[in-house]
Structure 1
């Protein structure tokens, strides 16, 4: 609970003023529609991530026994912490890229990931809207390999901090031009296009941290200066509220997959 309150206060104190000063979409009120739902998600997401971290850390001695190569672990552990951190970010993003891509193309996974894409507003809270099943899958799938590869606790902690910052920043309603940084690190405009209600971007910009990962696999797409004008999923909208949205993927009338939906207007 202390971690949740601290994370919420720090995020609010940093990003609410930034969104007021440099907003991409000006808002009359700080509290936009569905803010209560996303605040609930903020709480659930942070609590779940903490439990996952505690569980994986407690299980680290068991996991080490599954390591593919002790020599590889030793090689990584001899690297400076800064290099370990950069390598961990790249390795994690490779794994997240493919899992994220599967979320979009495998229908039963899309049902859960659609919750994240259901928000029609992008701001510092929007990135917290993630189904608990997706949180469990993603965090476990990313953190376990990093432990198996032998990255030091300092490098892992630095990576977790980066995830917390970048997840908020990438969804924030902040107009950052970025320049050459757009090709080096995922910034708001890059990730906003991934959330855009635009048929040309349904399967683009999967990387969480590094655009080079999208470049490697042919899914990088970023216009020179434009920002998307509409966000959300195609076709039938999800119900409102965190409880209804968490139950929705388990119902038969689940949200249409992006690739197969025929209803709903498409941006040109």
Structure 2
């Protein structure tokens, strides 16, 4: 019964997200002409199913376990102080601290070989849309969830609040990967618009910018912000050849040879060429 409910929930989630994003991607396409069933669609669909049936419950299990460890005099004092704050301040603190941590972890994932091997799966996507957001190795996904939710765990947020934060960040991640370019105007400087994250996925290694999650303030702060102008014509994905099938990608982080051709992007490449 639980399995049937999980499968039904996955199908319903796909239908809801498709009905939300496919019209947006049709009306305000960042890359007009990209077909709905573009290359890599089946791979990303497999990641979608795996995320909803396996990774999401596993992440909740891990976060529940970590939450039980977040006790002790110091943490109890912190949690008591946080509990006295208004809910909006608690949420703001969790989001801001989470953004800082996820920025740092995301940037490390491009610099540290053992992390890049797993994160490279996400960057192997050569076409971006709402479904491509789900292309994420389970190890990379679990580590990211742990890092981004660590402040909320330490602050003693209940699991229901954690679930809402995870859902909000998840929806935002889907939005910034979608094949959409909305006329945001100056608001594009304040929010993590899709064109900012699309540039992060550009194939050229020197374009490793825009590591932020919800908003680009962390990229402003650490000098990695870049807002591209003009149409999106640059190629996406990895420079090196990478397997494109689901099972092959799950095994790729442990099978990649250690050589220069599969190295992660270098930290020194910060300035991006203007399109």
| Same fold (TM > 0.5) | yes
Q: How far does the alpha carbon of each residue in 1:101-152 deviate from its partner, in whole angstroms, 9 at most, with x for none?
A: 1110112211111110011101011111111110121112222442112234
| Structure 2 contact 124–244 (Cα < 8 Å) conserved | no
Across the aligned residues of Structure 1 and Structure 2, the Cα RMSD in angstroms comes to: 2.4
Distance 1:225 1:72, change over 3 A: farther
Match of 1:201 in 2: 207
5+ residue gaps in structure 2? Answer: 1-5, 268-272
Q: 1:231 aligns with which of 226, 236, 247?
A: 236
Match of 1:246 in 2: 250
Match of 1:57 in 2: 64
For 1:163 and 1:119, locate their aligned partners in 2 and report how far apart those are by CA, in whole Å. 20
Q: The residue matched to 2:110 in structure 1 has which SS?
A: helix
Judge which range, 95-104 or 246-255, deviates more: 246-255
For 2:50 and 2:73, locate their aligned partners in 1 and report how far apart those are by CA, in whole Å. 31
For 1:28 and 1:201, locate their aligned partners in 2 and report how far apart those are by CA, in whole Å. 22
Once the 2 structures are TM-superposed, how far is the Cα of residue 55 of structure 1 from its aligned partner?
3.8
Match of 1:259 in 2: 266
5+ residue gaps in structure 1? Answer: 261-265
Match of 2:152 in 1: 146
Distance 1:259 1:67, change over 3 A: farther
For 1:127 and 1:28, locate their aligned partners in 2 and report how far apart those are by CA, in whole Å. 16
Q: The residue matched to 2:203 in structure 1 has which SS?
A: coil
| Structure 1 contact 191–205 (Cα < 8 Å) conserved | yes
Q: 1:211 aligns with which of 191, 216, 219?
A: 216
Does residue 94 of structure 2 align to residue 88 of structure 1?
A: yes
For 2:197 and 2:146, locate their aligned partners in 1 and report how far apart those are by CA, in whole Å. 22
| Structure 2 contact 47–135 (Cα < 8 Å) conserved | yes
Distance 1:226 1:88, change over 3 A: farther
Match of 1:27 in 2: 33
For 1:267 and 1:39, locate their aligned partners in 2 and report how far apart those are by CA, in whole Å. 33
Match of 1:36 in 2: 42
For 1:267 and 1:230, locate their aligned partners in 2 and report how far apart those are by CA, in whole Å. 15
Once the 2 structures are TM-superposed, how far is the Cα of residue 267 of structure 1 from its aligned partner?
10
